[in-house]
Structure 1
Amino acid sequence: MPAVPQPPISAPQNFDEYCAQKAAPAGSSAYYALRQAPASRQPFLTALFALRRELEETVKNTSDPTVGRTKLAWWQKETAALAAGQPSHPVSHALARHSADIESEAPMLRTLVAGFEMDLDQARYLDFPNLARYIERVGGAFAGAVARATARQAQHADAWAAPLGNALMLAQFVQELGNDARHGRIYLPIDELQRFGVTAAEIVNRKYSPAFSELMRFQTNRAREALHTALAGIPAAERPTQRTLKAQAAMALALLDEIERDQYQVLHQRIALTPIRKLWIAWRAARKR
């Protein structure tokens, strides 16, 4: 199979701009969350978010699993090259430029790519423990890297940041259920669908029902409780350092409330907060002790 072309490499001064456009366009939740971080760390965090978006788009925008695996294999090589100080992609260049020790993040980089590789191997999960393996790779591991970027004691960040990253993934599954189904993936465990009497076909065909509402109430409550628990688990000394993660969590909680008020109508539309509301929520959450 011929090599899968990658995006052209921009001039060095455009690496940061590329990452900002990829990860945090104006008005997006990521835009407001990243703006809460210290100015000196925003470029690195934006590059991290851009990497995650690159991997996510690789999976979602590729209909042929073989092509998807080829692209992710390229990313595995690229993240190894990045850790070795030989980046070639704009996002990798930005990460290398803004990290004092990108080699130390090599395990996270491998875990993140491996997490998205799971999307090419399965589109459904039998139960929550199986889904948790995916969540921990694409959510928890990533949040650990975000936390380390600004933490006072980076070596301990994974213990309290990973649960928050996992909780953010649960909230994302609620918001993106309809969109994910259109891409052939349902991140709600099969045994939970069966428990509430909802079929995958009903989700794909955007069929609402009392049973679906009960299923989504359960999913929403679980995500909300996980977010509150994870936020409470951030050590007091680290709360001032974690403005980006706290802003993300606050916007996720507000969005879950909005989805609940809209009676879980997430199959045919993507419910979102307005930019001005995101700005206010992110600003307030970032400064909350």
Structure 2
Amino acid sequence: MLQLPKSPPKVNMRVSLEEAYEQCRQITAKYSKTFYLGTRLMSEAKQRAIWAIYVWCRRTDELVDGPEARHTTPETLDEWESRLESLFSGRAMDDFDVALVDTLERFPLEIEPFRDMIEGQRMDLYRNRYQTFEELKLYCYRVAGTVGLMSEAVMGVDPALQTAPWILEEGVRPTEEAVALGIANQLTNILRDVGEDTRRGRIYLPLDELALFDYTEADLFDGVVDDRWRALMKFQIQRARKYYATAERGIAALSPDARWPVWAATILYSKILDAIERNGYDVFRQRAYVPGWRKAMCLPVAWIRAQAM
């Protein structure tokens, strides 16, 4: 179980900053290969910051989804939030914290998205069903839309493009699109992991939408793949793609050096939806993933979009 001391000490340089960031890089590369590939297209400072943020988010998620999650209580999350406040005050308790504290000093990150993510984990403590998409959307914002906000602070926004007429006319604000990308990614995760979640007794598909397609919880736990299931999945995938489309509208407003990696990450992650379709929507017995050669093909497409859009 993750131990959370009551009074975090000042930053203890157990490792150098280089070593701390390297540990974050290794974890990102190991547990999120598609996301990691996108970070490798960033400048060194930005990719290191994103690795540090990713590791904090992963550790937060593991409090309720990790191997020791059975020991997690609301008090555990209270302590984790207290530790977060210490990080924003420049104090760290372990090697990973050293990297994040440095990131917080270098980039204009706000604490609220981090707090909101912890609230998302609180939801996982007491909920394993969502009746409507509006309820699920709040969860998706907290556990993933927040990542979009954190990442945007690192990527930076191009001031010139913020005032471009087409942005003002269409009401595009990068912050809104950043949240949309996080939600799109989380919806993709939900669809990919349906089988894994049911084995843990969790359902992240809105229950009223299961009923709409005459598909029951029993069908879900039995892994039934039929016309009802395929229609339901097509509906869910269409929604996820709409969120990706919304997110794409804001990429042009990011700093020029951030557009290629964000386009790459967006395209690569959305390809998981294509993989689900190729697998005949059977997410119970086949894990949808994007093979290396398909990832490689996405990079020049992302580069072209970064230049032209």
Normalising TM by the smaller chain, what interval? 0.7 to 0.9
Q: 2:47: which partner in 1? A: 42
Unmatched tracts of structure 1, length 5 or more: none
Q: After alignment, is 251-260 or 273-282 more displaced?
A: 273-282
Unmatched tracts of structure 2, length 5 or more: 5-12, 163-172
Q: 2:181: which partner in 1? A: 164
Root-mean-square deviation (CA), in Å?
Answer: 2.7
Query: Counterpart of 1:232 in structure 2: which amino acid?
Result: R
Residue from 110, 120, 132 that aligns with 2:125: 120
Aligned-pair distance for 1:278? 2.1
Aligned-pair distance for 1:199? 1.8
Q: After alignment, is 99-108 or 73-82 more displaced?
A: 99-108
2: CA distance, partners of 1:287 / 1:116: 38
Q: Pairwise mapping of residues 146-161 of structure 1 onto structure 2 (< 5 A)? A: 146-153=151-158, 157-161=174-178
Q: 2:95: which partner in 1? A: 90
Q: 1:196: which partner in 2? A: 213
> Residues 27 and 275 of structure 1 are in contact (CA less than 8 Å); yes or no, is this contact kept in structure 2?
no
1:30 to 1:237, Cα distance in 2 relative to 1, 3 A: closer
1: CA distance, partners of 2:104 / 2:68: 34
Q: 2:7: which partner in 1? A: none
Q: 1:11: which partner in 2? A: 15
> Residues 10 and 90 of structure 1 are in contact (CA less than 8 Å); yes or no, is this contact kept in structure 2?
yes
Query: Counterpart of 1:5 in structure 2: which amino acid?
Result: Q
> Residues 28 and 54 of structure 2 are in contact (CA less than 8 Å); yes or no, is this contact kept in structure 1?
yes
Aligned-pair distance for 1:159? 2.6
Q: Pairwise mapping of residues 170-249 of structure 1 onto structure 2 (< 5 A)? A: 170-236=187-253, 238=255, 241-249=258-266
Q: 1:108: which partner in 2? A: 113
Aligned-pair distance for 1:216? 0.7
2: CA distance, partners of 1:84 / 1:127: 38
Aligned-pair distance for 1:260? 0.8
1:63 to 1:79, Cα distance in 2 relative to 1, 3 A: closer
The reply to whether residue 268 of structure 1 matches residue 285 of structure 2 is yes
Q: Deviations over 1:144-170 (max 9, x none)?
A: 111221223599642321112111211
> Residues 136 and 204 of structure 2 are in contact (CA less than 8 Å); yes or no, is this contact kept in structure 1?
yes
1: CA distance, partners of 2:141 / 2:303: 24
Q: 2:275: which partner in 1? A: 258
1: CA distance, partners of 2:77 / 2:154: 25
1: CA distance, partners of 2:242 / 2:263: 15
Q: 2:60: which partner in 1? A: 55
Q: Deviations over 1:187-237 (max 9, x none)?
A: 111100111111223222322222111111111111112212221243456
2: CA distance, partners of 1:64 / 1:100: 31
* Secondary structure of residue in 1 paired with 2:72: helix
> Residues 63 and 72 of structure 2 are in contact (CA less than 8 Å); yes or no, is this contact kept in structure 1?
no
Q: After alignment, is 87-96 or 28-37 more displaced?
A: 87-96
Q: 1:281: which partner in 2? A: 298
* Secondary structure of residue in 2 paired with 1:105: coil
Query: Counterpart of 1:40 in structure 2: which amino acid?
Result: A
> Residues 210 and 216 of structure 2 are in contact (CA less than 8 Å); yes or no, is this contact kept in structure 1?
yes
1:41 to 1:80, Cα distance in 2 relative to 1, 3 A: same
> Residues 198 and 212 of structure 1 are in contact (CA less than 8 Å); yes or no, is this contact kept in structure 2?
yes
Q: Deviations over 1:118-144 (max 9, x none)?
A: 111201101011111111111212101
1:132 to 1:27, Cα distance in 2 relative to 1, 3 A: closer
> Residues 107 and 153 of structure 2 are in contact (CA less than 8 Å); yes or no, is this contact kept in structure 1?
no
2: CA distance, partners of 1:218 / 1:238: 34
Between the two proteins, what is the percent identity of the paired residues? 27
Query: Counterpart of 1:184 in structure 2: which amino acid?
Result: G
Aligned-pair distance for 1:243? 3.4
Could you tell me the TM-score, scaled by structure 2's length?
0.82
Could you tell me the TM-score, scaled by structure 1's length?
0.88
